[in-house]
Amino acid sequence: MNERTAAAYPVTVRPRIAEDLPGAAAALVRVHASDGYPVEGVADPVGWLRPEGLVGAWVAVVDGAVVGHVAVVEAGGPLVLVRLFVVREARRDGAGKALVRAAEAFARERGRGLELEVLGKDRAAMRLYERLGWRRGGDLVHEFGDGERAMGARYVAP
């Protein structure tokens, strides 16, 4: 899979269905092993892919395999983009961009704004959002269940 080209294996982004959850969970475990995302771990990857307030979710698929995921949750104000990840081998194929664009289109179709929070350690994600026209909306502190804290930022969709 590492030597494939985007032309040989195009990325398809589509709404997530229940049958996608095992593949998405396996991809999440791989991303956690390579990047430490999510910081809280992946003890229950399928559960983590079903956050409270879920209103939409999409997967990126290459050659029949789930290589990425994104979800949108209702949080009382703007919709919130969450659970975005792409396995390392598919990052140059446009999977992340396509997933973000799917979430943006979902919010636009509903006449809603879209925002997200990202940890400061996730510089590649920040660069992606900025390349896609997202505006940094300020700094924040993310608190983990064990009392640990990390700096992050809020971004707002264009």
Residue appearing with tokens 């307030």: 53
The region, left, alpha or beta by phi > 0 then psi within -120 to 50, assigned to residue 93 is: alpha
Name the amino acid, one letter, at 62: V
- Among 157, 123, 122, 119, residue whose Cα is nearest residue 137: 157
pLDDT band at 62 (very low <50, low <70, confident <90, very high): very high
pLDDT, position 8: 54
pLDDT band at 143 (very low <50, low <70, confident <90, very high): confident
Q: Average pLDDT, stretch 105-128?
A: 93
- pLDDT score of 2 more than 80: no
CA pseudo-torsion sign 6, 22, 73, 116? negative
Distance from C-alpha of 98 to C-alpha of 51, rounded to nearest angstrom: 21
Q: Which residue has the higher pLDDT, 148 or 15?
A: 15
72-107: pLDDT as tens digits: 999 888 999 999 999 999 988 899 999 999 999 999
Residues 6 or more apart from 116 whose CB is under 8 A from it?
A: 80, 81, 82, 84, 129, 134, 154, 155
pLDDT, position 31: 96
CB-CB contact of 152 with 129 (8 Å): no
- pLDDT score of 6 more than 50: no
- Among 33, 39, 28, residue whose Cα is nearest residue 71: 28
pLDDT, position 147: 80
CB-CB contact of 62 with 21 (8 Å): no
- Among 107, 87, 104, residue whose Cα is nearest residue 95: 87
Whether the model pTM is above 0.75: yes
17-60: pLDDT as tens digits: 999 999 999 999 999 999 988 987 789 999 999 999 999 999 99
Strand pairing partners for 149? Answer: 143
